[in-house]
Amino acid sequence: MTHTTHNESSEDYLETILILSHKLPVVRAVDIAKYMGFKKPSVSIAMKNLRQKNLITVNDSRFIYLTDEGKKIANMILERHTLITKSLIALGVSVDTATEDACRIEHDLSEETFSKLKEYIKTTPLADKILSDNTVVNGEDFLNAKKIVLNGSLLDKEELEEKQ
């Protein structure tokens, strides 16, 4: 049984908007497309669906904001993603694999299972490391490992190297 009636794709978009809202002055569809590696028309369709579900708002300047309900879902998914990723890394899984696996697992855990997982982690020697807000592992932020924010714009690491 899943934890919510929202689909995985919607949750991924909401999580991305939340992550980008902490890194950029404003979030636009082009930023979401770049971050997720999708084409802008696909993102535009997804944003329309999220607007219809009252999970985001888009102002006249086309800036995207989470509604209270959208933020609630995004925070839940981000918490799951972070905790699962850090737990897998603590077990010795590579950062890339842990991040990919966490992205799949985060959507399907029941509230009960996630709650019990957090309770268990609190009893382990790695609890402080796993439960901290730090998302940097081996010098890289696993939530944004292939993206850089420069002058308020989201760039791939390759794009940054080309600009230098």
Categorize the per-residue pLDDT at 4 as very low, low, confident or very high, splitting at 50, 70 and 90.
very low
Task: Return the CATH number at 66.
Answer: 1.10.10.10
Q: What's the pTM value of the predicted model, to 2 decimals? A: 0.79
Tokens standing for 102? 């966490």
On whether the CB atoms of residues 135 and 141 are closer than 8 A, the answer is: yes
pLDDT over 50 at 3, yes or no? no
Residue 50 lies in a domain: yes
- Tally the domains of the chain: 2
60 and 110 together in one domain = no
pLDDT digits (tens, 9 = 90+) for 58-117: 999 999 999 999 999 999 998 998 889 888 888 889 888 988 898 889 888 899 999 999
Residues 39 and 66 in one domain: yes
Q: DSSP label at 28? A: -
pLDDT at residue 130, rounded to an integer: 83
Residue 139: the pLDDT is 58
Q: What is the predicted pLDDT for the residue at 156?
A: 54
Same domain flag for 93 and 65:
no
Task: Measure CA 30 to chain center.
Answer: 16
Secondary structure letter of residue 26 according to DSSP: S
Q: In percent, how much of the chain has pLDDT > 70?
A: 79
Residue 38 pLDDT > 50:
yes
Residue 150 lies in a domain: no
| Alpha-helical segments (H) within the chain | 8-23, 29-36, 40-52, 68-90, 95-105, 111-121, 127-131, 157-163
Residue 155 domain-assigned?
A: no
Q: Assign residue 139 a region: left if phi > 0, alpha if psi is -120 to 50, beta otherwise?
A: left
Are 13 and 61 contained in the same domain?
yes
In a domain, 160, yes or no: no
Query: What range does the domain containing 50 cover?
Result: 8-70
Instruction: Please indicate, yes or no, whether residues 16 and 41 belong to a single structural domain of this protein.
Output: yes
> CB-based contacts of 99: which residues, under 8 Å, 6+ apart?
85, 142, 145
